[in-house]
Structure 1
Amino acid sequence: MAKLGIASISLLSLFALLSLQFCASDAGLLNRIVASGGQEISGDNGRYVVVFDAGKFMTTVHVFNFDQNVNLLKINGSLEVSHQVQEVLSSYADNPAAVAIDELFLLGEKKYEKILNVIRDLLSESPFLYKSEWVTILPGAKQGVYLWETINYLMGNVGRDYSKTVAVLNQDVATVQMAYAVSLKAAINAPKLPRGEEYITAHHIQSNNYYLYSHGYFPYGAYAVRAEILKYTNDSYNYCMTSGYNEQMNYYGEIYNVRASPSGSSYEKCRENVLQALNLKATCYIKNCTFDGAWNGGGGAGLEKIYLTGGFHNTGADVGITNRDIPSTDLKLLEYEELAKVSCGAKSLEEAHNLFPIVPAFDLPYLCMDLVYVYSILADGFGIDPTEVVTALNTVQYEGSSFRVQWTLGAALELVSSKHTKMEDIPNVLLSSHTSNQVA
């Protein structure tokens, strides 16, 4: 049977965002792929890419359609077709033949390799073109790259000089990712680090080359960092917790005591714990680090405009700094700090709820911690001036449609932007820095 497309599968972030990328040339094949979603695919002729995003709580399939110039085409009147399945991989750790999707890293190497091998076997028997090396674990840095590509593509920045692009700071449940473009000279002169990190990589997008700094910070995502902060007070009171709260948090088998001080939360004392968790004094193997010993990329014109996405936007929306119903919000970090002080001053969960009525009940006891953390990682970790205007981004307008910011579009873009002329020859590897049509 002839192979009909390309299959690639990758795991991004420590919650293992599982991405299976399929390119297919006929809509009939895609009809069968998304049949469980109850939608038929109809759209202009083009190249279709299907990305399965295996997140913490569910698996989502995203279908995109591109023309030969890598312009995004509409499907059924929308920029994408998507469908969610309430299944995760972790529950199948001891039964990999019955594959669903979730946090593979946290299952242990032997268990997630069993699952990945099953997926490799399934893909090798599928009608899609497939290479075993496309089934791999990718760091959070790659997710940052995909987000950078998504946002700059939708904004129309691709094709412009790197200095006209925007930087991305994203927070998911497990990691924080930073990504921005640098010049070719900066890429060539990027330092070699003793720990072997690869901070700057070359990427080909819509016939243009960019050199991107990207790094994924684990465990500094929205939920993972709570465990890190609690480590410093596991056997005593935690001054980030709202008064009256006394529970335990189970974070992937690790139990943390979450006990508020009798005197309640304290902004100053909470911030001390948060700054400890950021590991600001970690050894910096090279000049210019952010936190936890990570190189900051050297800065430059590609970092002048910063967009905050994911948890940074969502935490702001919970307390009224941003709004989920509008595409973006310009703000200053001082706004997070001001509301952190308000939240940390609440004397009870009831008072906290009255102050911030739309914060989910599960997150409310941690609100002081979360706000202090967002302010601290941005101001102290990444060194953003608290008085500088940054933009929290939720959606991007693209050709009259609203597109939610997500890494999956970037993954699809890299696949269809390959310089190889034949679809079956497209590799899922980084381009050499010695390529033509250099923008940066």
Structure 2
Amino acid sequence: MTTSLFFLMWGLATALALPLLVPFHARGLGGIKAFTAANALAVVSLLAYATSQMLPPGVYVIVSNAAWVSALSLAYIGVRQFFGMRPHIRRAAVLGALFVLAFALMLYGQDDLRGRMLLFSGFTCAAALATGRVIFRQRRRLQTRGVMLYLMLAIFGLAALHALRIAVYTVGGEAPASLLEPSPWGLFFIVCGTVTVPALFLALLLLVQTSLSEQMQAALTFDSLTRAYSRRSILDELDRELRRCKRAGGKLAVLVLDIDHFKSINDRHGHAGGDTALRHYAQVVQRAVRTSDRFGRLGGEEFALLMYDCDPAHALVQAQRVCDALRDAPLFLHGVEVPMTTSGGLAVYQPGDTADGILARADAALYRAKQQGRDRVELAWAGRAPGRAQPAGPAEAAGAAAAGQGVESTA
């Protein structure tokens, strides 16, 4: 009776993840249905031993073991589905059916307790290792490394526990005993199981929750169409960098870019063609800029590039690279070459700058670049009010003119 109560508590501990998995069904996540079914069957397996006093011996043993094998098979299938891999449903079903058949022969034919224990632990160890192998290979798919580590510890811990059980009942020479009247070794395996089994299903739950959380964070951080940083993300980063520059006297250059004649691409090739053009543009620009800089989409065909620790001269060189890269990488739509160019306005940090202020200066420089023929970058004039062009001094005018000539297209 005491052991039955132990299995009841074990089953209830394993069931803790079950009500938390069910709400994820509406999200359409791969593997979530398999995880839920696996968790439910694991609970059934444990509760079958808890109700052993009310069921015939042959019934609770076969029900418990069949449910456990099905749970492990579904966990394996669910992990593969979660990572977008072929689930191997038929293979898992055939192996599970063969196990149940062999187990039934050892139970209802000539009763072989040692054989059943070794078969059970052998299947559990193999299934856990197969699942752990998938998780290990896909460990980089989740950025939150602690979750994958916890999941691998749970699944490989389960495999190690049953590998030890096989060793104890073979080379260890331990005599097998029923789980309802366990030997010291049997009690050890039951206690360890109360840790590894609930931990496994809680780890699967954590895997699902963390994956959704990372997807939501990515949706806020990145633009869904171009995979550049989103408007919110780029503006938040600009605010942080301006505070850093104010605090530590750093350097920052902001380049606002706009695709030239983008409306004509939409008019000729439709919105699908326009979307393709935006994706192409973002890919070309991100290949051309420094990996340390941040490139984001402000909206429509307007983008921004934040260049850290960059003075005006180096920023202009970077801007020229963007113009050259786009000119050298034409877009093809329906087999037709669609030349793409870009215009930009470049503003560098000045003491007292706000995000609106530096962007307004860059926008004004972008407007000048458009007026002066496009496919070029203009440097914002220093010392003028946001959004308004102020007359520049002789030195500033010369510098701006030289900067404009330095990035003017020769095409």
Q: Do both share a fold (TM > 0.5)? A: no
Q: Give the structure with the larger strand fraction.
A: 1
Q: TM-score, normalised by structure 2?
A: 0.25
Structure whose CA Rg is larger? 2
Q: Give the structure with the larger helix fraction.
A: 2
